[in-house]
Amino acid sequence: MPILVTGATGSVGGSLVRQLLAQGQDVRALTRDPDSPAARALPRAVEVVRGDFDRPESLRPALRGVERMHLVSMGGALTNGAEILALARDAGVRRLTHLGHDDTSRDDDDPLETEHRSLHRVIEASGLEWTHLFPGEFMTNTWEWAESIRKERVVRAPFPLWNSSLVHEADIAAVAAVALLRDGHAGRTYMPTGPAAIRRVDAVRAIGTAIGGEITFVELTPEQARAKWLGVYGPEVTEWFLEMGRNPENNATVLPDVADVTGRPGRTFAEWAFEHADDFR
């Protein structure tokens, strides 16, 4: 039976697709647009199926014959979670990994948490063998620097000492793959992080080493950062980023979940930078 991967064209979903294929699994990828460049870039062995979280009924073909499913908290999955989970259960899905978000320092009624916490409860009441994945900050967040590095060898960002346990997308996917394929992970919550925290300025240096050239870090003030981020992330996420930046060690906790679940240490940011060096050249 195929394993259904939602968010298959994202960094974690794409890695999960490839890891499952490498382990001999049949994989079905859900996408709103099978003709998009990202969907066409999926391996040929993947069955690509159209479906949209904003229209839960459209998921029926993708769920047919599926017992294991990876669900990403995005878009309509947050608002239509109960209907999506009911459709999955009725179709015969019995095991679910959920890639989501949970800032435990915030209350349920926080605007950044409300929809996510509601989905958590729906999943936990679904009767499925669920596993939550709440990762630390993704290493892929540094892709936002790619254009200025390519053009100017410059990164303009606030908080050079912001220290974060950045996690490799392949390590998040590896934890999901284990939970999907092996018993013993139902009802568990994993928080994958990188093996060490890294300051923003040091991440810039690591990318410079990977591409063989020096990169200048130009520090933005919080006000400049707010103006830059508002149009990209919106006000709530922007203020959340600024709050984290003012407390540079709050996101630096390193947890053992990647090693404990997969049996090997997580990948470092230096490894990630070398793997993705062409994105910054």
CA distances from 119 to 15, 75, 131, 172, 242 (A): 24, 12, 13, 20, 26
Q: Tens of pLDDT along the chain (281 residues)?
A: 999 999 999 999 999 999 999 999 999 999 999 999 999 999 999 999 999 999 999 999 999 999 999 999 988 999 999 999 999 999 999 999 999 999 888 788 877 788 999 999 999 999 999 999 999 999 999 999 999 999 999 999 999 999 999 999 999 999 999 999 999 999 999 999 999 999 999 999 999 999 999 999 999 999 999 998 898 888 888 988 888 888 888 889 999 999 999 999 999 999 999 999 999 99
pLDDT at 260: 98
Name all domains of the chain by residue range, CATH numbers in brackets: 3-134 (3.40.50.720), 139-165+195-252+266-280 (3.90.25.10)
The pLDDT value recorded for residue 88 is 97
Residue 280's pLDDT is what?
A: 97
pLDDT for the residue 134: 97
